[in-house]
Amino acid sequence: MKTLVVYDSVYKNTENIAQAIGRAFASGTVNVMKADGVTQSDLTGINLLIVGSPTQGGRPLPAMQKFLSEIPVGSLTNINVAAFDTRMTGEKTGAGVRFIVKIFGFAAGRIATDLQKKGGKLVAPAEGFIVDGREGPLKSGESSRATTWAQQIAEKVHSH
């Protein structure tokens, strides 16, 4: 199985989650790449595409939005896809952040929708990993949770 994990990151929290996801795959080829370095040829021959970004204003970062917009419609047909984000929640977020989230949501859901519009087959619900404050660090246990999430995806993909 050939897996590509594409991420964008500002404070390395999303990068750390992407790396944990990449390490979760025991077999096959796994590449973990930053969104602005991915070309269309990197998407050739993959079986699984996992995409993640920090949430800013309910959306992925601009480089991730560009990556997603440049994937040709239909080019992910028969490719399994999954989406994740990093996000702030809880008491460390201000009322303004909570309001934005209530109105706009998180990046992972938008990423999943974009991947499906390109033909991808969603194999797991969009997942969010928690960051303590704007710059992090990741909440304790989130990297382990990312590994478990990715292992569950791998098992599902292998069983089909």
Per-residue model confidence as pLDDT tens digits over 95-154: 555 554 455 679 999 999 999 999 999 999 999 999 998 899 999 999 999 999 999 999
What is the structure's pLDDT at 143?
A: 97
**Residue 57, both tokens:** 């204003």
What is the structure's pLDDT at 123?
A: 98
Instruction: Indicate the burial class of 47 (C-beta count within 10 angstroms; 0-12, 13-18, 19 or more).
Output: middle
Residue 92 scores a pLDDT above 60: no
Partners of 51 in the β-ladder: 6, 83
Residue 27: name the closest of 45, 47, 50, 6 by CA.
47
pTM: 0.92
What is the structure's pLDDT at 158?
A: 86
CA angle, 46 as apex, 45 and 49 as ends, to 5°? Answer: 155
What is the structure's pLDDT at 26?
A: 84
Per-residue model confidence as pLDDT tens digits over 35-72: 999 999 999 999 999 999 999 888 999 999 999 999 99
Q: With bands split at pLDDT 50, 70 and 90, how would you rate the model's confidence at 90?
A: low
Per-residue model confidence as pLDDT tens digits over 6-42: 999 999 999 999 999 999 998 899 999 999 999 999 9
